[in-house]
Structure 1
Amino acid sequence: MTTTDRPHPSRTTTGTTRTTTGTTTRTTTTDRRARGPFRVSARFRILLWVVVLMAVSLVTVVVIVRSVLWRDMNDRVNQILAQETAEFHNFVEFGRDVRTGQSFTDPRQLLTDYLTRQFPEPAEELIGFVPGPSGGTLVRQPREIRTPLPLHEDPDAVARIVADPDRAGTLRRAAGEVRWARLDITHEGSTEPAVFIVAFHPQEENSSVRDVVGVLVVVAAGALVLTSAVGWWVAGNILAPVRLVRNTAARLTEQDLAQRIPVADSDDDVAALARTFNAMLDRLEAAFATQRRFVDDAGHELRTPITIVRGHLELMSDGEGEASAAERRETLRLVSDELDRMSRIVEDLLLLAKAEQPDFVRPEPVQLAELTADVYVKARALGDRRWELAEVADHESALDPQRITQAMVQLAQNAVSHTAPGDLVRIGSRRLPDRIELYVADTGPGVPEADREVVFDRFWRGAQRRGGGAGLGLSIVRAIAEGHHGRAEVRPTPGGGATFVLLLETP
């Protein structure tokens, strides 16, 4: 007795092809002004991206787990079918009838003895079919099968398996599919072979896979909801400084630039944005303050000469016939002087306004000795004073020679304004370990200690040091020193007087 065409279940098992259809969403970006009240917040967009990425990740995990579970189940079923058919094949080849001690000659007896000795799984069914004149005989095990309709109770399904040209496959029926493998048994004197059938009912296995996938879907949905809630909260916290920047910017006006954003003690991008915004507000506040100061100073200082000019012109108009030529010339001279003074005030104010710009100072390598000597030569023409070049620094430094000369000449002019003819005025420069100093020392009335902090303020005129200027010269000197990252200060001159010094850092 022999078997034919030993099947390979994994080769003949039918498969299922699944097609996943994706949906592509096209988003058209329009101008924010066109969206009007339907503006989408950055918080919502961040949350949307997080949710989409999380959803794609979870769907991918569910699909992969489902595929792995189905593959493992199919491999297990194929292994069961292959193992059962191999064991029956060995029994046919080497088995002996215990009653005769010989090989089996009756296929019915062969199938009965084999099935009696087998203990298959609950969802597994082993049956035999022996053809005969009345349609054949079905040999089965007397046991319960976990399926609504066992194969031995479905003659039509058995007939389809027996007639199938393949040796393994999947039988789909209303009561549930059946995974099967078949082994034909030929014996002498038979025209039709007997059949050994291994059937596996995968309904319970399929249900287990679906349960696992269902639980995974529920967990993924819960994780997605939790991620949405946490993402909304996190996005709100992250964007809180950005909203604060927006609200602060909305509250800013030209009259109120004092709003600032609290900066967290961190180095992330949001903290950097807050610091950058605060720095921008500092620059804006300084620019507006400079503008207001310029307008206030110009209005304050120009009001007096304008009043004087208008008054004299009105006098000339009222007494045009009576005024002598000498009086008219004197009036024109006064008007011309006031106009010149207004012009100087405007130029000085514009210079101070320009001091706020980055290109106010343009450093270049300068020999201090040569620069000090040039200042000394130019200062000697300012007045009949006893000028002295006290000392020079033999050092090269990065300075703006024009601005430094302008400051030193202004200090020399200030010394001339507060000294008498023949008084000593000393000009010099020196190098110290950490800085260089350029100075102008006079022997005038000096600057009281209480005024040394305000002497460089705009339009300041001390009681001891009065002059005909507008009070902007020393402010220009301080602006030039600060443009070189230095400072200007005043010290008492030994023996009486004031020494004005530019202190500049050495590179």
Structure 2
Amino acid sequence: MTVHRPHSADAEPQAGPGTGTVRATSVRAPDRPASRPVRRRLFLPARLRIVGWCTLLLIVTLFSVGLAVRNLLQADAVRSVHDGLVQETREFLRVAESGRDPITGAPTVDAVQLMEGHLLRQYPHDGELLFGIAGDGRVLTQPDRPPSEAEQREVIAPIVAEAGEGGRLETSAGPVLWSSVRVVDDSGEPAGTYVIASEVTPHLASAEAVTRAVMIVSGGGVLIAALASWIIAGQILRPVNAVRKAAERITHEDLTQRIEVVGHDDVAALAMQFNAMLDRLEGAFRVQREFLDDASHELRTPITIVRGNLELLGDDDPAERAEVVRLCGGELDRMSRIVEDLLLLAKSEQPDFVSPRRTDLLELTTDVAAKLQRLGDRRWRIDDLPEGEAMLDPQRITQALVQLAQNAVQHTGPGDRIALGAVVRGPDVVFRVADTGHGVTPDDAEAIFQRFSRGATHGGSRGLHTGAGLGLAIVTAIAEAHGGRVELDSRPGAGATFSIRLPGAAGGAGDVPTDRIEGGAWTTS
């Protein structure tokens, strides 16, 4: 008796989801009246947005994991059914190839006896159906487990009619996988077929149960994660909320609010930067208030003088009218200079305040020297002269040196010495204006560089000089615009030396002897 080995049964169901098409219709909204106010967008706290996005990401991730687990379990269930069919087939093959009854050891006579004996000794699992098909078409079933009407109609009948080696059936109880073993007699003629069929649904039920358990546990995990993320987001955003609350409390009259910096993360860095910004704003507002107070005082004085003199102006005395006109003109000139200086200081905050270019240092110094000697009757002197070129704005540097020289003239008398010099020290260029006046006290050394400050000692009070106290502030602005600074070397009673140091401005420059300068009121060292 010969047995044909079957092909393997289908391992997976063949099913595909249906598809549909949804057509969206575009609807044009009516025109909004121009005067209608624009609605503000719904405000959502950052904490809620963070928790929402984290929760949504977690839900999508866990749903994807659950779907993947479900698919794997279903595939494993189908594979388990297939393995069961293979095992039952191999067991029948061993009995059929031996040609003897495994219990009595007696030889089998024909295929019907072989299949009936084998069916009698099998104990199928739930959802499993074993039967044989005799050569004459009779269906051989297990005596103690007759097939139901549904099994006969939906499983046995289609398999008998198909007479194949295996396949898949769709029944009311779900998909069924089956496999068969064909038995032939000694002459090679078909003598019968042994069939093993198994339902897939009972095996899929366990996969669905596991999937539901995973989803339930995942749902609980999502709730716990959302609560934890709400707490963590609150901790992370606490400094940000502190920044917001501090910003709400800040006004132009109160810039003293500061944020406590905790930790060393990005939020702590944000708090530090916010505090630094408040420091700069507080300083800027303080300088602005002081500037407005000083400017109003300086401009109020010439206006008061002009108004008072105009009120006293009469028509009878030409000499008196001329004197009033002279006084008013002088005050208006002084007020005009204050306004021009204020505009210059305001412009110093702009990026195009200076226009550096390659400038010949020797030519620049001699040009400045030619202009300074007209400022007053002093002993003008040149100490040092540089040679070469430097990157600077010659007009602004000239303006700064003239301002320093004018300041020296105001604090010296006829016959006093004022020296101009410029030296190259490595990559730096240093311009100097020195005098032999009364000098600057340590108390005034820093104050004189502030706007509207002229110092209060040794002749520097407001009553002795007509300047507005903006000269050294202008010099400082020019030096800082070049990336440099103004330095002061002075002792009371021993004169003062103001230096403008420009770092990195020199390029191949050096010093030359001062005897190359001739003429005018200048002397050389």
- For 1:71 and 1:87, locate their aligned partners in 2 and report how far apart those are by CA, in whole Å: 24
Separation in 2, partners of 1:60, 1:494: 84
Query: Using a 3 Å threshold, how does the CA distance of structure 1 residues 87 and 469 change in structure 2: closer, same or farther?
Result: same
265 and 437 in structure 1: CA distance in 2 versus 1, 3 angstrom threshold: farther
1:106, 1:247 → 2: CA distance?
96
1:216 counterpart residue number: 214
Cα deviations by residue, 1:361-393 (Å, 9 ceiling, x for unpaired): 333333433332222211101111111111123
1:75 paired to 2:79: yes
2:321: which partner in 1? 328
Kept in 1: contact 2:12–2:78 (CA 8 A): no
| Distance of 2:497 and 2:338 partners within structure 1 | 25
Paired positions, count: 485
1:279-358 matched pairs, under 5 angstroms = 281=278, 284-285=281-282, 287-316=284-313, 319-320=314-315, 323-358=316-351
Describe the shift of the 1:206–1:460 C-alpha distance in structure 2 as closer, same or farther (beyond 3 A): closer
Contact 1:366 1:396 in 2 (8 A): yes
Structure 1 CA distance for aligned equivalents of residues 491 and 13 of structure 2:
110
Consecutive unaligned residues of structure 1, counting only runs of 5 or more, are 26-32, 143-149
SS in 1 for 2:433: strand
Aligned counterpart for 2:148 among listed residues 136, 154, 164:
154
The two structures, once aligned, show a CA RMSD in angstroms of 4.0
Aligned to 2:472: 474
Partner in structure 2 of residue 206 of structure 1: 204
Assess if the C-alpha contact under 8 Å between 1:73 and 1:205 holds in 2. Answer: yes
C-alpha separation between the residues in 1 aligned to 2:378 and 2:48?
Answer: 77
Describe the shift of the 1:347–1:293 C-alpha distance in structure 2 as closer, same or farther (beyond 3 A): farther
Q: Where in structure 2 are the equivalents of 1:219-298 lying within 5 Å? A: 219-261=217-259, 266=264, 268=266, 270=267, 274=271, 277=274, 281=278, 284-285=281-282, 287-298=284-295
Counterpart position of 1:378: 371
More helix by share: 1
**Equivalent residues in 2 for 1:43-58, closer than 5 Å:** 43-58=47-62
Letter of the aligned partner of 1:47 in structure 2? V
- Distance in 2 (alpha carbons) for counterparts of 1:267 and 1:458: 40
Equivalent runs, 1:7-86 vs 2, <5 Å: 7-11=6-10, 15-18=14-17, 34-36=38-40, 38-86=42-90
Distance 2:147 2:104 in 1: 33
- Determine if contact 2:3/2:182 at 8 Å carries over to the other structure: yes
Question: Within 2, Cα distance between the matches of 1:97 and 1:390?
Answer: 131
Distance 2:250 2:20 in 1: 53
Q: Is the 8 A contact 1:493 1:499 kept in 2?
A: no
Q: Which of 400, 405, 408 is the equivalent residue of 2:401?
A: 408
Between the aligned partners of 1:481 and 1:14, the Cα distance in structure 2 is 85
State the Cα deviation string for residues 24-68 of structure 1 (Å, max 9, x = none).
99xxxxxxx955373233333333332222222211111111111
**Residue-by-residue CA offset, 1:153-191 (whole Å, 9 max, x unaligned):** 525524653321344456666777754434465779xx9
Question: In the alignment, residue 104 of structure 1 is paired with which amino acid?
Answer: T
Over 3 Å counting, the alpha-carbon distance change for 1:46 and 1:98 in structure 2 is closer
Aligned to 1:138: 141
1:415 to partner: Cα distance: 1.6
Structure 1 length normalisation: TM-score?
0.80
**What letter matches 2:10 in structure 1?**
R
Compared CA separation, residues 205 and 21, structure 1 to 2 (3 A): farther
Check conservation: 2:486, 2:498, Cα contact below 8 A.
yes
Question: Where does residue 145 of structure 1 map in the other structure?
Answer: none
Residues 474 and 326 (structure 1), Cα distance of their counterparts in 2 relative to 1, 3 Å cut: same
- 1:485 partner letter: G
Greater Cα shift, 254-263 or 349-358: 254-263
Secondary structure of the 2:368 match is: helix
Maintained 8 Å contact 2:424/2:430: yes
Change in Cα spacing, 1:454 to 1:22, as seen in structure 2 (3 Å) is farther
Contact 1:438 1:503 (8 Å CA) reproduced? yes
Identity %: 45
User: Residues 487 and 22 of structure 1: is their aligned pair in 2 closer, same or farther, counting only changes over 3 Å?
Assistant: farther
| Cα distance in structure 1, aligned partners of 2:271 and 2:107 | 94
Tell me which of the two structures has the higher relative contact order, counting C-alpha pairs closer than 8 angstroms and 6 or more residues apart. 2
Residue from 176, 179, 182 that aligns with 1:181:
179
Equivalent residue of 1:451, what SS?
Answer: coil
2:449 to 453, 456, 461: 456
**Which deviates further from its counterpart, 251-260 or 336-345?**
251-260
Write the letter of the residue equivalent to 2:44: V
- Name the residue aligned to 2:32: none
